[in-house]
């Protein structure tokens, strides 16, 4: 369901093999759910049971598994297998069971669009949390969890601070890396405690945190570089 599962692919594959199952991802992992459903349908599979797994502290809700599966089912041309979706997410790879309670996809599920998702959010800040391989290995998932948890405690949502997970942001030696836009402020070695400090002092207080701030070098139009 989330980036955490894409990072822990080997663990999921190991849990899927004894069940005769395969894996697919809703975001930033291959194969995508749509691609895997197409492969199974093209192979003549008659029934597919989908069990969502979310190992991290954040990620899309269970309803998104049904939305994506239903969208594929409606758009599919040719053979369509019956799709059965587990009624709840698994929180661990070894918690997946073929005896899970399931509910069929009918095609009447909500689509991928909504009036609520038509406009760019009015957030003051966008926080980009690097989830590249080095940052993830250094605990970026814990950084993200601490940030989201504290935002929730302060009653701040997407219209205040929009948190986005990204691929590599490049200063990998400083992992975990977090950048704050539109302030163009970059932070390094952001563990959970540092994330809480950045939220309190920068995102709420308006003062960048010197202790974790990284120097910002920009290329000018003449080919040189300037430091911000």
Q: Does the residue 226 lie in any domain?
A: no
pTM above 0.85, yes or no: no
Domain match, 107 and 137 both: no
Domain boundary among 95, 115, 135: 115
**DSSP codes joined into one string, the chain:** --HHHHHTHHHHHHHHGGGT----BSSSSSSBHHHHHHHHHHTT--EEEE--B--SS----HHHHHHHHHHHHHH--S---EEEEESS-BSSGGG--TT--EEE--S-S--S--GGGSS----SEEEEEE-SHHHHHTTHHHHHHHHHHHHHHTT--TTTEEEEEES--S-GGGPSPEEEETTTEEE-S--HHHHHHHIIIIIIT----GGGEEP-EEE-TTS-EEE-
Q: Return the pLDDT at 217.
A: 83
Whether the Cβ atoms of residue 124 and residue 156 lie closer than 8 Å to each other = no
Q: Return the pLDDT at 222.
A: 60
Q: Does the residue 154 lie in any domain?
A: yes
Number of structural domains found in the chain:
2
| Domain of residue 175, residue span | 125-219
Q: Does the residue 120 lie in any domain?
A: no
| Rounded Cα gap, residues 190 and 136, in angstroms | 12
| Rounded Cα gap, residues 9 and 201, in angstroms | 36
Domain match, 41 and 94 both: yes
Domain match, 7 and 111 both: yes
Q: Return the pLDDT at 7.
A: 83
Whether the Cβ atoms of residue 170 and residue 124 lie closer than 8 Å to each other = no
For the chain (228 residues), the mean pLDDT of every run of 10, in chain order, is: 87 93 92 97 97 84 95 96 95 85 95 90 95 90 93 94 94 97 97 97 97 88 57
Domain boundary among 115, 138, 167: 115
Q: Does the residue 194 lie in any domain?
A: yes
Q: Return the pLDDT at 94.
A: 87
| Rounded Cα gap, residues 96 and 19, in angstroms | 9
Domain match, 59 and 96 both: yes
Domain match, 207 and 170 both: yes
Domain match, 106 and 180 both: no
Domain match, 29 and 49 both: yes
Long-range contacts of 78-84 (CB under 8 A, 24+ apart): 78/41, 78/42, 79/41, 79/42, 79/44, 80/41, 81/37, 81/40, 81/41, 81/45, 81/46, 81/47, 81/48, 82/46, 82/47, 82/48, 83/37, 83/47, 83/48, 83/50, 84/47, 84/48, 84/49, 84/50
Domain match, 7 and 107 both: yes
Domain boundary among 91, 115, 139: 115
Q: Return the pLDDT at 225.
A: 53
CATH number, domain of 165, equals 3.40.30.10
Q: Does the residue 58 lie in any domain?
A: yes
Q: Does the residue 132 lie in any domain?
A: yes
Q: Return the pLDDT at 2.
A: 86
């Amino acid at each position: 369901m989330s980036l955490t599962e894409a990072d822990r692919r080997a663990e999921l594959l190991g849990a899927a093999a004894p069940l005769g199952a395969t894996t697919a991802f809703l975001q930033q992992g291959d194969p995508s759910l749509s691609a895997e459903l197409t492969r199974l349908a093209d192979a003549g599979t008659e029934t597919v049971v989908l069990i969502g797994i979310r190992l991290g502290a954040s990620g899309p809700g269970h309803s998104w598994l049904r939305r994506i599966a239903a969208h594929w089912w409606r758009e599919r041309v040719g053979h369509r297998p019956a799709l059965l979706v587990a009624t709840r997410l698994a929180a661990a790879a070894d918690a997946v069971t073929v005896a899970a309670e399931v509910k069929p996809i009918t095609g009447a599920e909500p689509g991928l669009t909504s009036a609520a998702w038509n406009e760019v959010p009015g957030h003051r800040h966008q926080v980009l949390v690097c989830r590249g391989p080095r940052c993830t290995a250094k605990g970026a998932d814990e950084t993200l969890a601490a940030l989201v948890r504290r935002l929730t405690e302060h009653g701040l949502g997407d219209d205040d601070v929009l948190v986005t997970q990204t691929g590599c942001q490049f200063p990998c030696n400083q992992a975990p890396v977090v950048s704050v836009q539109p302030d163009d402020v970059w932070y390094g070695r952001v563990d959970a405690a540092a994330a809480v400090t950045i939220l309190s002092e920068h995102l709420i207080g308006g003062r960048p945190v010197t202790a974790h701030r990284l120097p910002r070098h920009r290329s000018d139009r003449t080919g040189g570089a300037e430091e911000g």
